[in-house]
Amino acid sequence: MSFLTSPQQITRRPTTAHSCRETDLLRHFRYHIGPWMDVGDPECALGVQTLLLSRSNRPLQAAILALSAGQRSLLSIPYHGEDISNGIRFRKEAEESLELQPDLVRQAGHAILLLQDLLPLGLQRWRGWIESAGSYLSPLSMTEDLGEALFWLHFRLGMLCGDELFDFGYTDDSLDLASSIATSKAPSIAFRSFLHRDGSPIHATRLNMHSRTVHRVYDHALCLLGHSLALIYGASDVNSPQAAGSPELAAFPSLRQSHFLSQWTFLWTDCQKWYNERPVDAQQIVDVRGGEADQIDPDHSSSFPILIFTTPMALVANAVYHITSLLLLTHKPRLLKSLPGPRCFTSHIWHAQSIAGIAASNDSPEQWDPILIASLLLIARDMSHESQQAVLLERLRRITATTGINLKQETEALQSVWRIARYDEEPDEDADDSIMS
């Protein structure tokens, strides 16, 4: 691959306490941050390839060191107090010369610094940062493995920004709401310039194309989610009830509704086809629901299903399917009375419980893709049982402890929703007394 460097190109520096600290940060990036960025992808496009590039490129290496120090400072590791100052110092070093680097190096460096910005902010404030970062992407970069990996990273983050996730019954104009599952807005990246309908890159070479691997199945699921969000929330190039893209559709509401109905039906069919035709390595190896889950685990009191997968990427791909189906069902056209297939596929509860079960049954650091986090926050609002709420709160705390993503505001808002729901469900004792008298 063109980005690999020869031993002669690698800068040799004497071993010092300073270089030992840098080595420790590079190790943290390789084994903790990189796999999470790649969702456990065995090809490790971002985690490994950026490190390989950085061996002969100090600005990119400084960006990696900045992210590693910044992320580590957000974790509960008391002996890393100097990470905050190191993160600032390395970031300054990276920013001084990243703009002078070749395109791919510059894009990789900016993506890494973007993550350093996002982690401490919390999901609610991600969208503005992601929209500005999207300008670095080019469809032609998809011909490189690293360029493709950078696109998918931006695409995954960009699909989070939406008001719906954080619509907890109040508004706050000062919040720059996070990302499309979360802002009720279409994806900020014009992904149709990059991807075919099945998620394969438009400009990829034959050597970059994979068959029905978990990686491509995962990409396909993300693409279906992107198309669904664009339809529901009205991307500029998608005609829907929220965005009349042509004069004809704008002039005739019935025609617009008919178009939305046909596009919705097409996406729903594709989504269920994806689920039914998943290869074996993208399917769950354990699927236990209802009373059987309680029998397997006596401490299992949440009623969430037990769903276990072979890889983090397969896990997240299935979570993406469930949130896509749930969003489509939530915005199902009124004219559509019934849907074919098993009843569970058309059940809001089944999809919501599956997302919760996926998050609760597994504990791999790589599984905490931001889309799974946003999906978990979305479905958590309707979990009424205290045992379920306790499990979800523990998962949210686990996410922060593992990834460093700040979820304090989202957690507080979620608990407020639950308190209000419990208050509304409590019987009015004064009314009962007056009735009895």
| pLDDT (mean) for 7-31 | 73
At residue 434, does pLDDT exceed 80? no
Give the per-residue pLDDT at 169. Answer: 36
Give the per-residue pLDDT at 291. Answer: 67
User: pLDDT tier at 428 (50, 70, 90 boundaries)?
Assistant: low
Residue 341 CA neighbour count, 13 Å, CB half? 13
Give the per-residue pLDDT at 167. Answer: 45
Going by C-beta distance under 8 Å and a sequence separation of 6 or more, which residues neighbour residue 238?
186, 227, 230, 231, 245, 263
| pLDDT (mean) for 2-25 | 62
* Beta carbons of 257 and 249 less than 8 angstroms apart: no
Q: Give pLDDT tens digits for 41-77.
A: 877 778 999 999 999 999 999 999 999 999 999 996 6
> What tokens appear for 107 in the block?
């894009």
At residue 278, does pLDDT exceed 60? yes
| pLDDT (mean) for 399-412 | 94
**What is the distance between the alpha carbons of residues 385 and 197, in angstroms, rounded to a whole number?**
39
> In the chain, where are the structural domains located?
1-6+14-120, 121-421
Q: Give pLDDT tens digits for 142-190.
A: 668 888 888 888 888 876 654 444 443 333 222 222 356 766 666 666 6
Give the per-residue pLDDT at 6. Answer: 46
Give the per-residue pLDDT at 390. Answer: 94
**What is the distance between the alpha carbons of residues 75 and 32, in angstroms, rounded to a whole number?**
12
User: pLDDT tier at 195 (50, 70, 90 boundaries)?
Assistant: confident
Give the per-residue pLDDT at 319. Answer: 97
Tell me the pTM: 0.84
Q: What angle do CA 386, 388, 392 make, to 5 degrees?
A: 115
At residue 240, does pLDDT exceed 50? no
**What is the distance between the alpha carbons of residues 370 and 407, in angstroms, rounded to a whole number?**
11
| Cβ neighbour number for residue 205 with a 10 Å cutoff | 10
Higher-confidence residue of 56 and 240: namely 56
